[in-house]
Amino acid sequence: MSTRVEATTLAPRVDLLTDAAFVLLGTALVAGAAQISVALPFTPVPITGQTFAVLLVGATLGTVRGASSLLLYVLVGIAGAPIYAHHAHGWAVVTSASGGYLVGFVLAAALTGFLAERRWDRSMSSSIGLMLTGNVVIYLVALPWLAIVLNTSLEKTLEYGLYPFIPGDTFKLYLAAAALPAAWRVVRR
């Protein structure tokens, strides 16, 4: 009888530790993908591998763990760890023209996780729709943020923050959708 009680009291701890490990792993994946970064001379926003990682983490870990991974990523960067693109860090990055992308990442991970929990991740075509929806959320936050920080017109905002990223983001969302089955195996969904 005591073995049964011990096993049932340990299960929540193991689950919590597993969840924490997956959150940390998601944060690390996004931080690593941020270092795949190319600065563009005409915009303060770099091309990075982050959107791939954000979408994959959200869809793989679900609403709570996915959003927690990205929130941790943002907070650790604010605290001073050089984990943003080009090893940047600090509050100044979050309040810069590219800060809206960071905030959008948290919301996109939560939404892709939410949609994955509702089985949008069960086929390649629906996974692509899930990833595209997450990408749109990033831009819904990032573009107004960029416009306010830079005081730009709609046309300039789109030139600086959207148009240059469409080809790469399209590739990354297909890549994230294709990587999803392998990611499920890691988290044993």
Q: What pLDDT, on a 0 to 100 scale, did the predictor assign at position 12? A: 65
Q: How far apart are CA 68 and CA 74, in angstroms?
A: 10
For the ranges 123-127, 168-172, 184-188, the one whose mean pLDDT is highest: 168-172
35-53: per-residue pLDDT in tens? 999 999 999 999 999 999 9
29 with 50: CB under 8 angstroms? no
Do the bridges between strand 37-38 and strand 47-48 make them parallel or antiparallel, or are there none, so unpaired? antiparallel
50-71: per-residue pLDDT in tens? 999 999 999 999 999 999 999 9
pLDDT band (50, 70, 90) for residue 189? low
Q: H helices of the chain, where? A: 2-34, 50-78, 91-94, 99-117, 124-150, 154-161, 166-187
pTM exceeding the 0.95 threshold for the entire prediction: no
82 with 35: CB under 8 angstroms? no
pLDDT band (50, 70, 90) for residue 4? low
144-162: per-residue pLDDT in tens? 999 999 999 999 999 999 9
Q: How far apart are CA 160 and CA 44, in angstroms?
A: 8
Question: Is 123 strand, coil or helix?
Answer: coil
Measured CA to CA in angstroms, residue 51 lies from 43, 94, 129, 171, 178 at distances of 17, 16, 15, 10, 14
Q: How far apart are CA 108 and CA 63, in angstroms?
A: 10
Question: Is 38 strand, coil or helix?
Answer: strand
CATH assignment of 2-187, given 3.50.50.60, 1.10.3720.10, 3.40.50.300, 1.10.1760.20? 1.10.1760.20
122 with 171: CB under 8 angstroms? no
127 with 174: CB under 8 angstroms? no
